[in-house]
Amino acid sequence: MTNQNVIVSDAKGVAIKVTVAKKAMFSQSVPKPMTEGGGGGCFTIPMNIKVLKVDTEGGAARVNAWVDSLRASSPTRVKSATPQSLSETVDYNSWTIHHPSAMSMFEQITNASKGKQIVMFLDYDGTLSPIVEDPDRAFMSKEMRKAVRAAARYFPTAIVSGRCRDKVYSFVKLGELYYAGSHGMDIRGPSKSSKYKNDNQAVLFQPASEFVPMIDEVYKTLLEKTRSISGARVENNKFCLSVHFRCVDEKSWAALAEQVRLVLNEYPKLRLTQGRKVLEIRPTIKWDKGKALEFLLESLGYANSNEVFPVYIGDDRTDEDAFKVLRDRGQGFGILVSKVPKETNASYTLQEPAEVKDFLLRLVKWKRLSNQQRN
């Protein structure tokens, strides 16, 4: 392997400290998370989350910079996984030296995880489902659902998405999983009994609850302001907003960015980030998918443990926060889903959701055989 090999070292502490009460939820050594009704054990969470400063002013120059960034982060999707030119082939081959396929490196990956508890973190759009023009039709296949369900039998599994948690659940429909919606600002544990739970109480954490009225207000404003831009779509994810421009003519990107800028000028407590053909509007608290990953590891009792092996699979720029956390912790690894070379903190790659499904099934088969050999 290259310098992407996983070497477990002392894990860094996380921003959220947990005080434990009553019996463990997953094992005798695991803390009991906060419950929706407030009963049982609970997390004591110091709310010292940092606030980010946001620059939404700057007029035309700022909008032009946004549009240039949108073009750079939203390359034309390739129809084939095979590079089309010699230069593309050289670039792709050079990139895969540093970010090899998780399928081709499968044996090295599983060897690194031996003796540790694998915990799976999965993005949704572009990872479990294909990227589609209509975000309301981003359905996962029955085969993918079976693969995720099989993985959850052997590994604690979480879906971490920028979407509203309820929306993601309506797509996945698996009660035994953890769901972290709104880029991790809306986290809930399994609603269905599993071997990782001792009772039916669920994790619940919503660090941006106070922003919900503001998000609703901005959502209504943006619906009105973007109505004249053909193809623009505003999605309310409860704790954040998504402005989709996948179906917007590139000539109208500047007009769309200008409308978003004008609206955000009135809301200094909100910030703008971007993903694949989408602008994300979020509260300025320092919370992202990486923080959600840390929180979930903490709730599982693995905050400072060398006995855990987190695996995060995602395709978007917003997943880089989680990839970076794994690199900084020095344990587990990130897998980027992409057919084209990209700057990433992920260690490995898979090309498309179909490969994600194959990887999950292969991991399940490996774990099943490992268990049989021990018995």
Q: Which of 167, 123, 173 is nearest to 276 (CA)?
A: 123
Q: Do 181 and 308 have their domain in common?
A: yes
pTM score = 0.76
pLDDT tens digit string along 254-310?
999 999 999 999 999 999 988 888 999 999 998 999 999 999 999 999 988 999 999
Q: Identity (one letter) of the amino acid at 299? A: S
- Residue 315 forms part of a structural domain: yes
Q: pLDDT (tens digit, 0 to 9) for every residue of the chain, 375 residues total? A: 433 333 222 333 333 323 323 333 333 233 333 333 333 233 333 334 444 444 555 555 556 666 666 665 554 443 444 555 556 666 888 899 999 999 999 999 999 999 999 999 999 999 999 999 898 999 999 999 999 999 999 999 999 999 999 999 999 999 999 999 999 999 999 987 655 543 334 668 999 999 999 999 999 999 999 999 999 999 999 999 999 999 999 999 999 999 999 999 999 999 998 888 899 999 999 899 999 999 999 999 998 899 999 999 999 999 999 999 999 999 999 999 999 999 999 999 999 999 999 999 999 999 999 998 887
pLDDT tens digit string along 298-308?
999 998 899 99
Q: Do 311 and 202 have their domain in common?
A: yes
Domain enclosing residue 352, as ranges: 116-206+287-373
Q: Which of 175, 127, 118, 112 is nearest to 368 (CA)?
A: 118
- Residue 303 forms part of a structural domain: yes
- Residue 3 forms part of a structural domain: no
- Residue 7 forms part of a structural domain: no
DSSP SS3 for 189: coil
DSSP SS3 for 170: helix
Q: Which of 159, 147, 227 is nearest to 188 (CA)?
A: 159
Q: Do 199 and 313 have their domain in common?
A: yes
Q: What is the CATH number of the domain that holds 241?
A: 3.30.70.1020
Q: Do 234 and 189 have their domain in common?
A: no
Q: Do 179 and 272 have their domain in common?
A: no
Q: Do 143 and 191 have their domain in common?
A: yes
Cα–Cα dist 329/325, whole Å:
6
Number of domains in the chain: 2
- Residue 182 forms part of a structural domain: yes
- Residue 108 forms part of a structural domain: no
